[in-house]
Amino acid sequence: MTSVDELMDYAEVVERYDPVLGLEVHVELHTNTKMFCGCANLFGGEPNTHVCPTCLGLPGALPVVNGKAVESAIRIGLALNCEIAEWCRFARKNYFYPDMPKNFQTSQYDEPIAFNGWLDVALDDGTVVRVEIERAHMEEDTGKSLHVGGATGRIHGAEHSLLDYNRAGVPLIEIVTKPITGTGERAPEVARAYVTALRDLLKALDVSDVRMDQGSLRCDANVSLMPKGTTEFGTRTETKNVNSLRSVERAVRFEMTRQAAVLAGGGKITQETRHFDESTGSTSSGRTKETAEDYRYFPEPDLVPVAPSREWVEELRGTLPELPWERRKRIQQEWNLTDAELRDLVNAGAVDLVAATVEAGATPAEARSWWVAYLTKEANNRGVELAELAITPAQIARVVALVNSGELTNKLAREVVAGVLAGEGEPEAVIEARGLKVVSDDSALEAAVDEALAAQPDVAAKIRDGKVAAAGAIVGAVMKATKGQADAKRVRELVIARCS
């Protein structure tokens, strides 16, 4: 029997097996109140302060459906090209877990509000993969368990657990794909690209803050393998609550290599949930995965069916914003970008940042240069997403304006941006604190030019003989002497004038 810790080389995996993916993405809606009660829908807060008898499951408390959550669910379904149900119901999903105060979750089972849709997903090289959507259904989130005393933060080895029900009852939309086949070696990339595209779509719809780091967008990644030449799906595992785009890709890749090693060694895959470890990029066994029958679904008796009128659905269709891919196409045309330049923007997660910088006054080329060519490296060095950097599009646009006005050189501008990233305040505050103003006083520049010419008489002679290209050496010396704070163009003019 092959150890579950043994992995097969990825190239061999895709040579011997065809992967099958199924992605379940849970989206917390940012409504003002919870799904079935009037408690505030807020992230964080003192434990167990955003609760009431309904979301605590106390006897006699009755739920009422959040109308805004239903509206958001319909808009999500429409944006995903889904059919919208004319009549649907909530169901009780029965299972005991400490962070489920009612011992059941109010969800939708066989009667979801949106179903049978699709989303086209662009990979890094421009290849488009259509991911079919099984359904998008409404439900409520669970509370949170904090396991104390263990080494891993999980229940195994913990001394005790604390429960916070602030999140219990928060509105959720679960978006479930149909089996994703035919992706081969690109399966991990497809998984990441799909969740990325879905996150961008939900952000454009303004139904969620899609903060994966705070759990408002979470992905359960189902993976199974079929031996080449076969058509019967293998046994799947479900890696739960993967909370970053990079981790979605890593989790799928790891499961493919782990499952292939088990199968090649004569073992069988256990249908189970698994946990993803960010630090190692590996998954570990959770619990045996239940089937639908185990949950004993039945219609929720305390809630009436949801029956959105066709008129309301069409009215909501009219509220859909410009979708991310449509916006990118427009931006590409307006900014005259090549396909490769647009992909660079998308892959860096910089489209919105560059657009906002342009809106604040920079040109597209200037904004792209900062976000893609410079700040992306800074984000990579810090191990964060580009949007998480401590600098705003407005601040970048201000730095660009200072360069264009001659108050900063390009070199000084980078120092100013470094200061803003370091938390030293607005660009002007950084300039003042670091003494980064451009030396624009001609008398001071002339003195520096004279000193440089005196130090390099052979270069000065070449310039006087008409070899103006030699002026670069003098300009470089002046820039060094002024710590990069001189206007190089003005310095060159003075050098030529002095040697005339």
Tens digit of pLDDT for each residue in 435-450? Answer: 777 655 556 566 766 6
Report percent pLDDT > 90 for the chain.
Answer: 65
Residue range 110-134, pLDDT digits in tens: 999 999 999 999 898 889 999 999 9
Q: What's the pLDDT score for residue 444?
A: 58
pLDDT (0 to 100) of residue 330: 94
Per-residue pLDDT at 207 exceeds 60: yes
Contacts 24+ apart (CB under 8 A), 180-183: 180/20, 180/21, 180/22, 180/23, 180/131, 180/132, 181/18, 181/20, 181/21, 182/18, 183/19, 183/21, 183/129
What pLDDT, in 10s, does the model give residues 141-167? 999 888 888 776 677 778 888 999 999
Distance (Å, whole) CA 299 – CA 92: 6
Has residue 370 got a pLDDT over 80? yes
Type of residue at 120: D
Q: How many CA atoms lie within 13 A of 294 on its CB side?
A: 6
Q: What is the model's pTM? A: 0.80
Ranking 225-239, 276-290, 470-484 by mean pLDDT, the lowest is: 470-484
Name which residue leads in pLDDT, 147 or 67.
67
Closest CA to 437 of 401, 485, 391, 382: 485
The number of angstroms, rounded, from the C-alpha of 303 to the middle of its chain's C-alpha atoms is: 35
pLDDT confidence of residue 23: 98
Task: Assign 1 a pLDDT band (cuts: 50, 70, 90).
Answer: very low
Q: Residue 96: CA atoms inside 13 Å, Cβ hemisphere, count?
A: 0
